[in-house]
Homo-oligomer: A and B are copies of this chain.
C-alpha cells in the first residue's frame, strides 16, 4: 500500500496537476482506458494531447473513496498552442493587447525564455477545459462498454459523458499559495482600498472579476446618494423643491452610473484582453437532445430540435406557469396586507411595546416568505428552462434570466407599488420598504455566506480527520486537497450575485425619494458583501473555471430597464406627495400634466445622455483602431510581398 501511495504521488508530480476529473465509481474499465487514450492522443489524431493520471488513494481507507479520480495537466508547448486556439489576448511589446500567436510569442511583453509563467493558472485551466470540451468523437459508434451511449462524429465526448452521468464533474484545482496571497490582499487586511481586481482576474478569470468590479463600482457610486440621503432622513426634508431635487439627482445619477460603468467595464475588459476577443463557436449544451439531423451551419450530423416545438413548450407551458406564479405572488401579497391591517388594528386598540413590535412582524414574515418563494421559483424556472431544451448555453441563460427577473421584480416590488400608488400610504411604504430591505439583506448574507461556510467547515474537519487517521502526521498535500475540493460545493456562477444587486438597485432607485436612507443601507450591505463574497469564493466553493467576459451582458440591460422604471415611479411619487399637491390647490389636472411633461422630458434626456456618452473611452477606441489598422497594413504588406515573389 505504501507503494501504491508513493507511486501515485510520484507519478502525478511529473506534471503540475491543474484540473480534476471525477468519473462515476462504477465506470467500466474499457471506457476509462478509451477516454484516457483519447485525452492523451496527439491533436493531429484528434486527441486533446493532455497529460492525465489516476489518483490512487491508500488502500486502508475504510470509507469508500471514489477510485476514478484523475488529475489533468499539460506540457507548456501544448498550453501555448492552446492559448492561440482559444484566442487569448495578451499584452504586446508596444502596450496594446493582441491575439496571442505561437509564431510571434517572443514579441509579447511577459514572454521570457520558454514561456514559463507567461500564462496564469486560470488561463492554463481554461485552455485545458477547452481541450477537454472540444475532444470530439471520431468514428466511434458509442462509448466503449456502453452500447447505449451513442456517439457520432464531431460530438463532444465530455459533454456526452457528462449528460449521461458517467463523468460526474471536472473542476480546476486551487493553487494554495496564490490563494493565500490573493485572500490576504483581498479581504484579510481591513483597510479602505480598492479590490485587487487584476489579481482576482488572474485567479478566477474575467467573468468573476467583472462582477467584483461592478460590485465595487456600484457601492462607490451609491456613496454620494447615501451622503445626500442622510440629512434628508435626519432632518425630514420633505419640501417640494428638495424632494424634486433629490429625484432629479437620482435620475441623472442612475443614468450616468450605468453609462460610466459601460466605459469602466470596457477599460477593464480591454486590459484583460477580452474586449476584442472573438467569441468562440458555441457548443451545444450538455443536456441538449433531439433527433439526428444536419446542422445548417457546420453541415455536420448532430441532434436537432425543431424551434417550433420549443416555442410551443415556451408559450403553452412556461408562460402560463410564470403567470400562475405571479398570481400566487399577488395572493401572498394580499394575505400580507390582511396581516398588516390586523397588526395595525391591534396596535391602535392597545398601544404598548409588544403591539408596537407587532407592527413590524407582518413585514418581516412577508420578507422571509418572499425570499422562500424566490428560491422555490428559481428551482422551478431552472427546471422549466432546461426542459425547453435550448441548444446553446447562452440562449438557456437568457430565458432563465428573463423568467427569474420578471418574477423576482414582481415578487419583491409589487407590494411596494401597491402601497405607493393604490393605497397611497407613504408612511406604510417607508416602513415596509425598510423592513423588506433589511430583512432580505440579513437573510441573503446568512444564506449566501454563513450557511455554506458552516457546512464547509464541518466537511473540512471530517476530511482532515480521515486523512490524519490514514497517514499519521505525514503530509499528503495533493491527495488531501483533491479529496477536500471534490466535496466542496460548486459555485453556480454570478447569476445570484447579480440578481441580488439588481434587487438592491431596485430598492434604491425606485423608492429612494420616499426613503433616502435606502442608499445608506445598501452601501453598508455591499461592504460586507464584498468580504463575504470574497471569502466564499476563496474557501467555501470549488474553484470555478475562468469565464472570459467583455461585459456584464444581459445584466446591463436589466439595470437599464430598472432605471427607466425608476424615472416613472419617482415622477409619480413626486406628483403624489402632499407638498407638491399643495402647490396646485384648485385642479389636479394641471399637476398631473406638469408631472407627465417633466417625466417625458426626463426620459428623453435620459435617452439622449445614454446616446451621447460613448460606450468605450476615447483612448481605448484609439487602441482598438490601431490594432485594426496594423492588421490591415500587415495584410497589405504580405500581399505586395507575394506579388513581387511571383
Residues of A at the B interface (CB closer than 8 Å) are: 43-44, 81, 84-85, 281, 296-299, 568, 587-589, 592-593, 596, 600, 622, 625-626, 628-629, 632, 636, 639-640, 643-644
Which residues of B lie under 8 Å from residue A588 when comparing CB positions?
587, 589
Cβ contacts A to B, 19 pairs, < 8 Å: A43-B643, A44-B643, A81-B643, A85-B636, A85-B639, A281-B628, A281-B629, A281-B632, A296-B622, A296-B626, A297-B622, A297-B626, A297-B629, A298-B626, A298-B629, A299-B626, A568-B600, A587-B588, A588-B589
- Residue of A297, A589, A628, A632 most packed against chain B (CB within 10 A): A297
Q: Judge whether B297 and A640 touch: CB under 8 Å.
A: no
Residues of B within 8 A of A587 (CB): 588
Q: How far is the CA of A568 from the CA of B592 in the complex (A)?
A: 15
How near does chain B come to A219, taking the closest CB pair, in angstroms? 29
Number of copies of this protein chain within its complex: 2
Closest to A43 in B: B640
**Chain B residues positioned under 8 Å from A592 (CB to CB):** 589, 592-593, 596
Give the CA-CA distance A274 to B85 in the complex, in Å.
29
Chain B residue, CB-CB nearest to A307 = B618
A629 to B643, CA, bound (A): 29
10 shortest interchain CB distances as A-B pairs: A297-B625, A588-B589, A297-B626, A296-B622, A592-B592, A596-B596, A297-B629, A298-B629, A589-B589, A297-B622
Chain A interface, DSSP helix/strand/loop, else mixed: helix
Assembled-state Cα–Cα distance A541/B466 (Å): 90
Chain B residues within 8 Å of A626, by CB: 296-299
Residue among A568, A588, A636 with most chain B CB within 10 A: A588
**B residues less than 8 Å from A632 (CB atoms):** 281
Q: A81-B643, A589-B592 are in contact. List 20 more A-B contacts (CB 8 A).
A: A43-B640, A43-B643, A44-B640, A44-B644, A84-B639, A85-B636, A281-B628, A281-B629, A281-B632, A296-B622, A297-B622, A297-B625, A297-B626, A298-B629, A299-B626, A568-B600, A588-B589, A589-B589, A592-B593, A596-B596
Most chain B CB atoms below 10 A, which of A81, A296, A622, A628 = A296
Provide the bound-state CA to CA distance between A297 and B593, in Å.
Answer: 51
Q: Give A84 to B638 CA distance when docked, in angstroms.
A: 13
Least CB distance, A104 to chain B, in whole angstroms = 14
Residues of B within 8 A of A640 (CB): 43-44
Give complex CA distance A296, B627 in Å: 11
Query: Within 8 Å CB of A600, what residues of B?
Result: 568
Distance to closest chain B CB from A603 (angstroms): 9
Alpha-carbon gap, A626 to B297, bound state (A) = 4
Residues of chain B contacted by A44 (CB below 8 angstroms): 640, 643-644
- Which partner residue on chain B sits nearest A627 by CB separation? B297
CB-based nearest B residue for A595: B596
A281 to B643, CA, bound (A): 22
Give the complex CA separation of A632 and B298 in angstroms: 11
Which B residues are in CB contact (< 8 Å) with A596?
592, 596
Per the bound structure, the CA–CA distance linking A531 and B637 in Å amounts to 47
Per the bound structure, the CA–CA distance linking A43 and B643 in Å amounts to 10
How far apart are the CA atoms of A632 and B84 in the complex, in Å? 12
A624 to B600, CA, bound (A): 40
How far is A296 from B297 in the complex, measured between Cα atoms in Å? 40
Q: Across the interface, which residues of B come within 8 angstroms of A625, CB to CB? A: 297
Shortest A198–chain B CB gap in Å is: 25
**Complex alpha-carbon distance, A568 and B298, angstroms:** 47
For the complex, what is the distance from the CA of A292 to the CA of B600, rounded to whole Å? Answer: 46
What is the CB-to-nearest-CB distance from A284 to chain B, in angstroms, rounded to a whole number? 14
Chain B residues with Cβ below 8 Å from A644 are 44
Complex CA distance for A85 and B296, rounded to whole angstroms: 30
A39, chain B: closest CB distance, angstroms: 18
Docked pose: A299 CA to B96 CA in angstroms: 14
By beta carbon, the residue of chain B nearest A644 is B44
CB distance from A348 to the nearest CB of B (A): 32
Min CB distance, A367 to chain B, in Å? 28
Q: Least Cβ distance of A306 to chain B in Å?
A: 13
Docked CA distance A596–B622 (Å): 45
Q: In the assembled complex, which residues on chain B have CB atoms less than 8 Å from the CB atom of A298?
A: 626, 629
Could you say which residues of chain B place their CB within 8 Å of the CB of A281? 628-629, 632
- From A568, which residue of chain B is reached at the shortest CB distance? B600
Q: Which residues of B contact A628 (CB under 8 A)?
A: 281
